[in-house]
Chains A and B, each alone.
Chain A
Amino acid sequence: MEPFVALRSAAVPFARPNIDTDQILPARYLSRPRDDNHGAYLFRDLRLATDGSEVPDFPLNQPHWRDARIALGGRNFACGSSRENAVWAFYDHGVRAVIAPSFGDIFANNAVKNGMLAVTLPAADVATLIAQVQADPAAEIAVDLPSQTVTGPDGATYRFEIDPFAKKCLLEGLDEIAFTLNHAEEIAAFERRLGRDNY
């Protein structure tokens, strides 16, 4: 996994609440292998019309936001289906950090496992950031994981909380499976202790 430390970039806003992972990655792309470029499917049905032409006012089609590496989301961002492909779509497109007032739990978990940072900030702060990038699409936002801060285009700094282990995994690009396999003995001891009827 590629480590995540810090990032400064334009930020593409998706302000609507309850944007679900079916929007982020439509179901018909779920059978594509991981090494496919999932960036091509990101918000496919909102970004492109049925004839394949770009929907002009969709944020990802705006010149300054095409290559944004940060996304701003509304409340309950990426709720719904557990499809990790939704994270792959952002990742392959180049987005490495998403900032929102709240996330679908599974999406937030999936993000960390793929080296993508999901930052939760108070709704008012996210609204401020969205208003700022909408007023000036070229404006940049900075995300710094070691200090756990987001810096807005105006220099205002917002501190965010993150699970210490998630932070460590992101900073070091740690493979959690390898980490847990170091605990194989404890898992085996648990299995012996409780036998088959541990529930």
Chain B
Amino acid sequence: MPGSEAPEARTMFEKIWSRHRVLERDDGQTLLYVDRHLVHDGSAPAFEMLRSRGIAPRAPDRIFATPDHYVPTDPRTRQAIPNDEHRGMVEALERNAAVSGFRLFGLTDGNQGIVHVVGPEAGLSQPGMLIVCGDSHTSTHGALGALAFGIGSTEVAHVLATQSLWQRKPATMRITVDGKLGFGVTGKDVILAIIAQIGAAGATGHVIEYAGSAIRGLSMEGRLTLCNMSIEGGGRAGMVAPDDTTFQYIAGRPFAPQGHDWDAALMRWRALPSDPEARFDTEVTLDGDAVAPMVTWGNSPEDALPIDARIPDPAMEPDAERRAIMAGTFAYMGLIPGTPLEEVAVNRVFIGSCTNGRIEDLRAAAAVARGRRVAEGVTAWVVPGSAPVKRQAEAEGLDRIFTEAGFEWREAGCSMCLGTNGEIAAPGERVASTSNRNFRGRQGPGARTHLMGPAMAAAAAVTGHLADVRRLMVGG
């Protein structure tokens, strides 16, 4: 190739990809080495597959596990999980950890939590790593400048057996958000605005790199929220180039490199960002100044609108097929076309999940809850993303702010995000939720989910309806 002497400009994705290449086949598949394998209490089938083949995990020291999907979030011990199947999932994880010898942050461990909160928080997720987990929101860890993606059970078994995974190189997409985010606008609003723009399949087959001044201005926690929902735009993974915000976040965490190792790691990490000339297969831009606090109205995360908008009217939709789909959504969601979003009353509020269950999220929600009361007839839960988040929040007195306002303050876990632990909303109940999926039945059969950021969810709790948090905020 002419000019192949000059060093090729590479994206961050390509740098990480090539560093993890074990071997490449003629047909274009690459065997990639996995640095960190995160495991949760839904991973039991993969361990069964391994056992049935008589194989032990190849690298137990690269596996870290915590129960999250099946744990109750009211006061708990393992024996207190009333449902046999749910308790069985948690016990299976404990057994697999004991047999295979990998590190488990168990139910009563001080580090337990949602796997995508625990990884970054413990310093396990680091720039340049290849991280996988049998869960689609593994994209979260890309916020630290890692290549992180979700896999299915058979692939989990493959990684357990071989510490590697066959992949065909995905395409790259850069989403650039320049500008300054407005008052009351968070990482959640940015990602909802992005998905509304590109669609729920907009990034299919792509690894996304988020770039631009508005992204660089986000805190680490905002970036984690952003990358978390990459999968909701169809992306295989999402990532943000590591910078001083990243390094400050990692420094001093339990599994972060220390001393000389830290200096060496920093050298490697600083070389990770995409080269200025690097080319992406697809480029998308969004005006950061124009993003408003967002909420979803439908059953796909792409159905997101600024809070001051009205719910669309299917009658205005020229395409017959789309009109029919919208009619189905309105029936499920129990909405009246054309209603201002702010007039939609809610029954329940869920603040938590791997999207928005971190300390900064709880601070933002508490700032709105402080001195107010949860509206009559509304049940509002705050579920910290991890035990350390819970401790930190309690040290700051956030739990008291919430309980005094009438919120329930609970233990760490996935809880109502998915309800696999039995914590679900009743049919027809409308939930203001800080989680990532508004799919039909996601929070229980017949439950109606509206996605939003944590301060917006707190605003819904205290007003009893979807509300523009900017009017409730100091300075707003």
Chain A interface residues (CB < 8 Å from chain B): 15-18, 20, 22-23, 26-28, 30-34, 45, 50, 75-76, 79-84, 87, 102-106, 109-110, 113-114, 163-165, 176-178, 180-181, 183-184, 186-187, 190-191, 194, 197-199
Contacts and interface: CB of A to CB of B under 8 A. Distances in A.
B445 A26 contact: yes
A31 B85 contact: yes
Range of interface residues on chain B?
35 or more
B19 interface: yes
B157 A180 contact: no
A110 B152 contact: yes
Given A50-B445, A76-B200, A110 B154 contact: yes
A82 B420 contact: no
Interface string B132-171: 0011100000000010001111110110011110101000
B325 interface: yes
Nearest to B133: A82
Interface stretch (B27-35, B183-191, B401-409, B466-474): B27-35
Contacts of A82: 134-136, 150-152
Nearest to A164: B27
Contacts of B437: 20, 22, 80-81
B205 interface: yes
A102 B234 CA distance: 10
B234 A79 contact: yes
Contacts of B232: 80
B152 A163 contact: no
A18 B200 contact: yes
Given A31-B89, A82-B134, A199-B20, 8 more contacts: A22-B442, A31-B70, A181-B55, A183-B23, A191-B163, A197-B261, A198-B20, A198-B33
B387 interface: no
Nearest to A112: B154
A180 B232 CA distance: 31
A117 to B, nearest CB: 15
B215 interface: no
A75 B234 CA distance: 11
A104 B234 contact: yes
A64 to B, nearest CB: 22
A113 B45 CA distance: 14
B419 interface: yes
B154 A113 contact: yes
Interface stretch (B110-118, B122-130, B336-344, B388-396): B122-130
B204 interface: yes
Contacts of A27: 418-420, 441-442
Given A30-B420, A104-B234, A106-B151, A187 B163 contact: yes
Contact of B441 (A45, A110, A181): A45
B264 interface: yes
22 contacts: A16-B328, A18-B302, A30-B420, A32-B85, A76-B201, A82-B135, A84-B152, A105-B205, A106-B151, A163-B168, A177-B55, A177-B157, A180-B31, A181-B161, A181-B162, A186-B22, A198-B20, A198-B35, A199-B16, A199-B19, A199-B126, A199-B146
Contacts of B263: none
A75 B302 CA distance: 13
A129 B328 CA distance: 23
B346 to A, nearest CB: 21
B420 A187 contact: no
Q: Name, among A16, A177, A181, the residue most crowded by chain B CB atoms within 10 Å (CB to CB).
A: A177
B427 interface: yes
B68 to A, nearest CB: 13
Contacts of A79: 200-201, 234
